[in-house]
Amino acid sequence: MVFREIMRNRVLYSLAVPGLLVLIIFFYLPMFGHVIAFKNYNYFDGIWGSPWTGLDNFKFFFGGSDWLRVTFNTLFLNALFIAFGLVISVILAIFLNEIRQAVFKRVAQSMAFLPFFVSWMVVSMMLFSLLNTSDGLINRSLKELGLDAVSWYSMPHYWPAILTIISVWKTAGYQAVIYLAAITSISPEYYESAQIDGATRLQRIRHITMPLLRPTIIVLTLLAIGRIFYGDFGMIFGLVGDNGVLYETTDVIDTYAYRALRQLGNFGMSSSIGLYQSVLGLVTICVFNLIVRKIDKESSIF
């Protein structure tokens, strides 16, 4: 029956073949790599030929304290990014919506949206020109105020805050644009009748904009929480790179797995970390997606 359906529409199905091949080769085939988590991988025997080792790789990974640290950092940093990103982007969207001067609004929105379009490598250079100990703008200013320069790149305890500020800098403008689109779809009649009844701007924001924006906020936040086990590799690796001093507070599961693979060449351990993350990731995404489905079926991803 499957065969008949495909044969009947074979030309149509053939349009999907290149896409299917890409998905199979670059997404599904690599999933077999998870097998390596249970093997003592060596280059010559390959994925299938290398000997099985049971749970040794997992014992190695969970035996140390690293797994707790990287898991904590991943969850903690993502929680900070989600919370601060949410509050600031919603405020920004509501405020942008209150602005009646079209040119000012357009320029401000463009400036806030701009960081979204540059890579983490570019951001890393920008950060360097701000935080660099000897001649970064911030330390220069501190010195001019008569204060001591801070060597930011060797002080791990500052970094959750630094990374949160950068995350807000990079994504809040973009998120605000999404929320702004939701706000502009609110019927202007609500605002007009509220105005006739003598509502102030603040009251209009509190009693019209906020409640009507809530479903969008909830859905987007839940979807973000669903991905909380996936650290932003590009961000962390781009900004922190190989600076081991900062690992204590910045190392996430993704950067740890990367180093295990590329610097230690430990395929087995890197793979067990990957599997650990994929399973936790799958569970959280499914749970949060089910919640989203309950709230708003249209917005759930499956």
Crossing angle of helices 56-63/267-295, nearest 10°? 80
**Closer to another protein at the Cβ: 19 or 188?**
19
**Shortest separation between residue 152's beta carbon and another protein, angstroms:** 14
Residues 180, 183, 187, 192, CA torsion sign: negative
Tokens 């081991």 correspond to 244
Q: End-to-end distance of the chain based on CA atoms, in angstroms?
A: 26
**Shortest separation between residue 125's beta carbon and another protein, angstroms:** 5
Contact, 64 vs 57, CB < 8 A? no
Q: Is 198 helix (H, G, I), strand (E, B) or coil?
A: coil
**Shortest separation between residue 42's beta carbon and another protein, angstroms:** 12
Under 8 Å CB-to-CB from 248, ≥6 apart: which residues? 69, 156
**Closer to another protein at the Cβ: 26 or 52?**
26
**Closer to another protein at the Cβ: 123 or 208?**
123
Query: Residue 140 and residue 216: Cα distance in Å, rounded?
Result: 42
**Shortest separation between residue 227's beta carbon and another protein, angstroms:** 9
**Closer to another protein at the Cβ: 157 or 297?**
297
- Tokens of residue 246, six digits: 């900062």
Tokens 């669903």 correspond to 226
**Closer to another protein at the Cβ: 169 or 190?**
169
**Shortest separation between residue 38's beta carbon and another protein, angstroms:** 12
